[in-house]
Amino acid sequence: MSEMEPDVNIAAIAIAVNAPPPTQDEHSAPFWAGLAERRIVIQHCAQCDHRRFPRMPACPYCGAAGGDDIVVPGTGTVYSFVRPNRAMTPAYAELAPYAVATVDLDGGGRMFGRVVPAAACAIGVRVTPDFADHPGTDATAWTELVFRVHVADAPVSTLAAAAAELPAPAPEQ
């Protein structure tokens, strides 16, 4: 990897340091607990075979109560995204413009999450999940699911901006 081709896939993920922790309830708690352990938990309906996210008490496709928690790799393809130039909340102002995408998961189901580098986010690009820890106490620390763009198939026109967005990786010794 030369200096002209920074590998944005290995650069650190910037986080919104003032972002409040997510509000958790009985339905979302397993998802957040999974992220802290580097697992992506979504639900599967045994009645109709649909996968769903976020977790909810009944299947939105067939109405069956309950659902099975499954762990998925989280790889997928960007279905749609937004890239706000002005942050939706003050806590995210330092990250703007950031990208939040709906991702078509390999194997079915859709999730949403922030995409890095934001400038390389585009419909149809492949993404791989990663995890960004927000420090805090036991009660306030949380882990954010972030999708990293596969730079190899990102639109070439986005790469210079994407490289400039992230800190350079540490030089090799």
Residues 95-134 that bind Zn ion (CB under 5 A): none
Count, residues near Zn ion per rule CB under 5 A: 7
Q: How far is Cα 113 from Cα 89, in angstroms, rounded to an integer? A: 16
CB of residue 51 to Zn ion, shortest distance in Å: 10
**Residue among 111 and 145 whose Cβ is closer to Zn ion:** 111
Identity of the residue, 68 or 133, whose beta carbon is nearer to Zn ion in the bound complex: 68
Residue 68 binds Zn ion (CB under 5 A)? no
> Closest CB to Zn ion among 29 and 46?
46
What are the φ and ψ backbone dihedral angles of 41, each rounded to 5 degrees? -105, 120
Site for Zn ion in 42-61 (CB under 5 A): 45, 47-48, 59, 61
Burial class (CB in 10 A: 0-12, 13-18, 19+), 143: middle
Contact 88, 96 (CB under 8 A): no
Residue 48 vs 93, nearer CB to Zn ion: 48
d(CA 89, CA 83): 13
Q: Is the dihedral of CA 116, 150, 124, 122 positive or negative?
A: positive
Residues lying near Zn ion in the complex (CB under 5 A) are found at 45, 47-48, 59, 61-62, 64
